[in-house]
Amino acid sequence: MLKYELRKAFYNRLFVFTFVFCLLIAIFNAFIEISDYHNMLALMNESGKIDYELNSLAVNWLGHSQHFTMYLYYFSIFLVCTFPYSYSLLEEKKSTYINQIITRDKRETYYIGKYIATFLAGGAVVTIPLVINLLICATMIPYYQVSQYGELYYGVPQPYLFSNIFYSNTLIYIVLYLCLTFIFIGLWSTTVLSLGFYIKNKITLIISPFLGLLALQFFYNSIGAGLLNGYTITPLFLIRLRSDVSYGAYNSMEVILIWFMVMIAFNTITYFLKGGNSDVI
Amino acid sequence: MLSNFIIFDIKNGMIRKYKTWIYCLVMCTIVNIIAHYIIMNAIDRGTVATFSDYVLYYTAGSKPFNPLENEAYSIPALWLFQILLCTFMCLVYPLDDLNATGKIRLILSRSRSSFWFAKCIWICCNTLFYYGLFYITSLISCIITGNSICLYASGFTSEIMGYWSERTLEGPYLFEAFYLLIPLTVIAISLIQMTMSLLVGKLYSFLITAVGLLASSYFKTSYLLGEYAMPIRSNHFTMNGYDVRAGYIYVLSIIVLTSVIGYFIFNKKDII
């Protein structure tokens, strides 16, 4: 059943289109970063003072970029990660396909298979383009380990999550954030899947959690930022590799863990308990 | 014929969806309470707030991002939210109706134009009602709190909300032109979205709308429609801002053009 669900999640039109959308942003960003790197290198050659750290791959790729493409990517991933498969349960209930499956196989196998497929599809559609961007940039931009002297330029201040790793081994920092992105986005996709028990319209199911995120960001900007000493609680900023210091957004492991727990608890109660007991036929 | 379609759409797409409007009203109230909380902090410093200040709080947008100013770009979450919520409401009903009883009405009426233009008019009504709710809630907040019901926005709003820059003009600002320009811009965006949904589907048309709005807040270009839904980028607020009259002409032309183009696409679409 898991194999079948994975096939449905990864071989569908929406997955392909969404992947292409994310990939286009990633490739476009890679060209900008490489072009910027060459321009910066030419300027530094003219002045005779080359700063290798500032031109390192560690700070010149999509995850660490300061271009519009970075803002666009991290803004849209919470919407697009739900496109591939988060609506599948709702669709299959509507089309009564679920009745055919549950009467032929174990209900638990079906639900667990769908949950894992949604998690992997959501995480993969967002994380793979990031990895591809990193690899494209790595073909042209050399990697140098960055040091704490350039903290102001890198946007990774002391309170930022894993900042000590960033200044000791940036590659591990990047890998950690890629894993964090994969897990967070995967869980977000499964949360939307669980919401399918309450929301009966496909478009509303996919778009309303994203609007909820924007509303949460607004509340945080208006009230929360001052109360939380600049620590962000909104997912739009939690999984970014660099901080928007002037905007007062630091992330922390505590907040990320709370989000994980909330999403897992919601999924367990709604998806597994409610789904396991729901009368399908 | 057209009037029958319009009445049907208003009944089904607006009146019967009264629960959505209740949620909207709750949202408007919360936004205005927060606006009041922030404005009151400014009043403590001896400034008088106006009705337009409340409206400016959620419609202002963001100042254009300049990477050379060494500032991080901040997503204008409230501005994006209030526009995307409206475009989302305008997105769901038209195609849902087409897939439900719309097909039967299309066959019986034998008029695709009536169906399409009724949907365009429904979007206008929906958006105007949505902004009407926001404005009325702001007006009530203003009256309850004893602030001035004035169509000028005070100078402090742009300052306390971080919009102040060297290019910002001195207040108070004439705001009355924006009460209609903002809803008209959102109507144009929603019409483009509805037309696009015929070609690429509802999800991708919403994604394109969201990306377009984010781009409008990041870049300063008069070609992106989102610019005209941001009063602080106009020549009333900023030097070298967009001309409000030109904004009206541009937005109205887009509304007419999109309705007509959308009609041709809808006419060619294989529906049944």
B75 in contact with chain A, both atoms CB, cutoff 8 A: yes
Residues of chain A in contact with residue B214, where contact means CB-CB under 8 angstroms, are 71-72, 75-76
Cβ of B166: how many Cβ atoms within 10 Å? 6
- Residue B46 has a pLDDT of 61
Cα–Cα distance measured from residue B266 to residue B115, given in angstroms and rounded to the nearest whole number:
10
- Residue A225 has a pLDDT of 67
B105 in contact with chain A, both atoms CB, cutoff 8 A: no
B33 in contact with chain A, both atoms CB, cutoff 8 A: no
Please give the ipTM for the structure prediction: 0.91
pLDDT in tens, A95-138: 888 888 878 878 788 888 889 999 999 999 999 999 999 999 99
B74 in contact with chain A, both atoms CB, cutoff 8 A: yes
Angle between helix A107-140 and A2-10 (nearest 10): 50
B77 in contact with chain A, both atoms CB, cutoff 8 A: yes
> Could you identify the residue written with the tokens 């607020």?
B237
- Residue B165 has a pLDDT of 65
- Residue B89 has a pLDDT of 92
A26, pLDDT greater than 90: yes
Question: What pLDDT tens digit does each residue of chain B (272 aa) get?
Answer: 778 888 988 898 889 889 989 999 999 999 999 888 887 776 656 667 788 888 888 888 887 777 776 667 778 899 999 999 999 999 988 888 888 887 888 888 888 888 899 999 999 999 999 999 999 999 998 888 888 788 877 766 666 566 666 666 666 777 778 889 999 999 999 999 999 999 998 999 999 999 999 999 998 888 899 999 998 888 888 888 889 999 999 999 999 999 999 999 998 887 76
**Structure-block tokens of residue A6:** 């994975």
Residues of chain B in contact with residue A233, where contact means CB-CB under 8 angstroms, are none
**Structure-block tokens of residue B245:** 């009259």
pLDDT in tens, A146-174: 877 777 778 888 888 888 898 888 899 99
Cα–Cα distance measured from residue A189 to residue A194, given in angstroms and rounded to the nearest whole number:
9
Contact A244 B84 (CB under 8 A): no
- Residue B39 has a pLDDT of 79
Q: Which amino acid is at A238?
A: L
Q: Which of A66, A72, A211 sits opposite B84 (nearest CB)?
A: A211
What SS3 state is found at B17? coil
Q: Find residue A93's DSSP bridge partners.
A: none
A246, pLDDT greater than 60: no
What SS3 state is found at A54? helix
- Residue A45 has a pLDDT of 81
**Structure-block tokens of residue A104:** 């032929």
Task: Determine the residue among A64, A160, A222 to mutate to test chain B binding: the one whose Cβ has the most chain B Cβ atoms within 10 Å.
Answer: A222
Q: Please, how many CA atoms are within 13 Å of residue A210, restricted to the half-sphere of its CB?
A: 25
Between these two residues, A29 and A271, which has the higher pLDDT value?
A29
Contact B77 A218 (CB under 8 A): yes
- Residue A10 has a pLDDT of 87
Between these two residues, A275 and B235, which has the higher pLDDT value?
B235
- Residue B156 has a pLDDT of 64
Mean pLDDT of A217-227: 78
Quick one: pLDDT band at residue A193, thresholds 50, 70, 90?
very high
How many Cβ pairs closer than 8 A exist between chain A and B?
79
DSSP secondary structure letter of residue B234: B
Smallest CA–CA separation between B179 and chain A, in Å? 22
Residues of chain B in contact with residue A66, where contact means CB-CB under 8 angstroms, are 67
Q: Please, how many CA atoms are within 13 Å of residue B5, restricted to the half-sphere of its CB?
A: 26
Cα–Cα distance measured from residue A52 to residue A50, given in angstroms and rounded to the nearest whole number:
6
